[in-house]
Structure formats: structure tokens, C-alpha cells
A and B are shown apart, each in its own frame.
Chain A
Amino acid sequence: MNYETVIGIEIHCELKTKTKMFSSAPVSFAKHQNSCVNEIDLGHPGTLPSVNKEAVIQALKACMALNCTIDPVIRFDRKNYYYPDLPKGYQITQQFHPVGLRGSVTIETAAGKRDVRINRLHMEEDTAKQFHYATETWIDYNRAGTPLVEIVSEPDMRSADEAVAFVEKLRTLLYYLGVSDVKMEEGSMRCDINISLRPEGTTEYGVKTEIKNLNSINNIRLAVESEIIRQTAILSAGDKVEQATRRYDDTLKSTVMMRKKEGNVDYKYFPEPNIPPIRLAAEWIEEIRSSLPELPEQRSIRYTEVLGLSDYDAKILTQNKELSDYFDEVLNYTTFTKLAANWCISELPAYVSQENLSELHTTLTPKSLASMIDKIGQNIVSSKQAKEIFPHLIKGESLQSIIDRLHISQVSDTAELSDIINKTLDEQPQSIVDYHNGKDRALGFLVGQIMKKTKGQANPVVTNELLLAELTRRKPE
């Protein structure tokens, strides 16, 4: 029997605010343990939460990018449970009235496009971090109270490809919005995947397992693929999948059981009495909407429809916000759009790592790259020469100084070139005959000879034109 895979995804994403969700303590990654905490984060007696306005703004932006319906009344609830990483003994979250409801995003895989519905987006606070050692547990409260949004999809994905595409889509969106670092390795974006199988053609959901703590896109793919294999084997053998929480084990290359689901835990949710409902003015929400940055889809449309780039180029560029931001800046200084795109897509990433891309401006200014692209476009510098120039340009040296120092210049002067071409043809009468007899190699040979004479500095386009004209003129009777 063939099975259809059904996947739903929950994503926890830390917001990029200066201070915590409900306290004025700073948010920061990798600071000295327990240095970014105050009495509120530690749940000291008598403390009260104050909602971080910036976090609300960022959550609203995320709702907008995910096409969610926004609840204009912000309300919070308490989720009660005892755990060492939860200082208050409850987490402040939005159980009953999430800020965003019923959104959707479109994903694209080799199998085509698919709309994935978003069930909800809500704000909450992160927990502290525990470190378990042989005989001790250490707790770092720096993370406690960090603003989070939780985004829950409907079970609309059908393959590992689609799960990966969904997570990447959300990552890119949230990154473009500037609301999160979305670093899965550092835990600023965390993914739980619900997965079940059902006989193809049926509509009832099978028993699902939840895979927790996936810390990279690659692991999402591996985890989903291995879980599909595991569940398929169970179902094919006529057994039942056990509802459980699992995790992906890197060394075993398979998911392993964390805990069985024994009914649902009762979190005794109730409305947070210390935060009165906050009504958001419609104008304020619209103000935020109008401040949204250009999102990847809009940008991609601009690239293809306004700039005339290929779908492929547009996709590659928009996948990488830093790169396409840089590309957009280069376009401020040059009109050779396609050339600029080529350089940003193929040459830049070869020289600059992703981490350094955002600091690239300090050495290779967009203006400087644009000046070289202009020279290429105007046939003053050949592509081959440009590749010689580029390693120096990226170190901050000016284009003119590189050209002067390396004696790079192209012979585009037609009189000078014509002299050289005539001289070459005089020397190679056999090649003229060969060319007119249809031997294409003759042309390449002649160009090679001309390049040799000019030490590679002949403008190839101009040379080609002049050479062809001269050959036609010298056609044997």
C-alpha cells in the first residue's frame, strides 16, 4: 500500500528586540551566563510583567507577512506548569486570543507550488536554559523572558521537501522583516514537526509523532525522511504508530523516542490578570503595515518584471537578503543590470562568506563594484580582465589604480586594431582560405593570434567585428 505523508510544523522564533518580552532586562545571545536578568526574569516575589511594545510591533509584522488576520485586542494568558527553567511557575503566552489567525504562505518545490495555511501566530516568553551534567544541573536565565512568536501551520505539507521549503520560507520572511535572527543552530529559531501517514486516497489523519528540537534545515529533511521510512515500515507490517514525542539522532540517522504522550498535560490556562487587554488603534496597525520592508516575493517580482532578470537569477538573489540588498545598491550606480546580477550571483559568493556579506560595504563599496561593471559593459574591460581586477578591488583598491598597476587596458581603438588585424591576416593567408571554406576553427585561430600580438588586451567584441569585416573583404575570387 502507498502512504501519503501529512506534516504540520510549529516554529518558535525569538524576536530581535532590545529588551525582554515583559521586563527591561537586555536580550542578548552568548553573554556571560545570568548577566542579562532582572528580578522579573527570575520570578522574584512581587514582580509584574510589562508588555514590550517593540515585540508587539514585530509580532504584528510577522502576522502581516504571513497574511494572518490580526486581533486588534492584545491579550495574554498563563500556562501553568512546574519546571526548573520556568522561574514564575507559569509562562505568559496567548492561548485564547493569538495576535494572528488564519494566515497562509506559498511554498515551491520540484513538485510545484502549494499554499500552506497558518493556524495561528502568538507571542510568548522563552524559558531559561538548562545544562545537565553528571551530578548537577546548571541554569542560565539569560534566555528567560526573551520574546518569542510561535507559528503553527495546518497539516498541509506532504513531503520532506515541502517541510524544508516551508521552514526556509518562514526563515526568509522573518529575516527580511528584520524581526528575528532565525539562526537555527543558536536556537533563535526552533522547529517541531508533526508527522503522520495515511493510506493514499484517504482523508482521515493517521497517528502522529512529534519530532522536537530540530536545529538545522538539513536535520529537518533527514528527520522527516527517516520518520517516513519508520512509520511506513510500522504500518506496512500491520502495526500501529505510537503517539509520542521523538527527537532526531544524528549518529543513528533516525528519530528516537523522547516520551510517550499520555493524554494531554493540563496547563490550566487562564487569562493573565496583570496585563489588561490592550486595544490597538487601527491607524497604528496600518502605520506598521506601511512600514513593512520589501518582502522576498515582491522583490522577486521586481527583479523579473522591472529589471528583466530571469526567474532563476531572481530566486537566487532573493534567497539571500544580504546579497540582494547589495545587488540593489550596486544598481544605484550602474545600468548594466544583468551584468551586475551575474557578478553578485557567481563572483561575490566565491570571495565572500555569508557571515561577511553584511560587512562587505566597508571594503567593496557598491559604487566601486558598479564602476567595474560599467567598464565591462562599455567593453573597456573584458570579463577575463575583470576577474583579474576583482581580487584587488574587493580588498578596497580603486579600480583605476588596479588598471594602472596591472597595465590592464583594452585596445578598442579601431584604427590600431585594424592595423594589427591586417598584419595578422597578411601573415596567415591560409587561414583566410580555410575560413571561407567553412572551417570555423580558422576564426578562433586568428583571434588567438591577434590576442597574442596585443597581449590579450584587444577588445574581443570590437576585434570580432573588425576581423569578420576584413575577412569578408578579403574573400578569394
Chain B
Amino acid sequence: MGPAVRAAAIGLVGTAMVLVLRRNTAELALLLVMAVCVVIIWQVSDALLTIIDYVSVLSSLSSLSEDVLMPVFRSVGIGLTARIAGDVCRDAGESGVASFIDFAGCVCCLYVTLPLVKKTVDMVQELI
């Protein structure tokens, strides 16, 4: 519960500060938004690490190979990064750049999960 409360508090305080800064120096307000995002994610990084470790343990219990699980982790990471960057750009009024970041994230996710798709297709071919 601690990290969630801390993240909420940091978000609220940060938003108040951004509102103060936005009136006179909009550029610095955008940078402050980025800082708030970084600090909030840092607060929950320990919990995220624990969750990922446990998912790895679960996958080893179910005898899933690393090749199957890695694309999932990687696409979550790409999605997280692209979403944060896109939302910051959208906040700054640059929805065009945000769309391109989203597109790049989609392309990278597809690229990362391509081995998984290939494996599935091979399996289907073997079945046929």
C-alpha cells in the first residue's frame, strides 16, 4: 500500500506544481511532468520486480520455455515506455508526435513477438 499512496501523493503535489508553472513557463512545466512520471515509476519499481520474478517462477513451474515468456515481458516493457512517452507528448499538445511514438511501439511489439508467431505457425503446420 505504501508505494501506491506515495505515488498518489507525488502525483497530486506534482500536478499542483505543474499548474503553477504552466502559466509562465510552459517548457519547464512539461519537464516537471516528465520528472513526476519518472519518480512515480521509480516508487513502484520494487513491486514490479517482485511480480516479474514471481511470474518467472510460475513459468518455470509450468515448464514454459524462456522463448515463450520473453516476448511477453519485452512487449510489456515496450508498451510501458511508449505509453508514458506518448502521454507526455499528448499532454504537451503534440498529439502527432504521440501517435508516431505509439506506432513505433506497435511495430517494436510486433517485431519482438514475431518469434512467438513463427513458432505458432510452425506448430500449426506440423499439425496439418
Q: Do A and B bind each other?
A: no
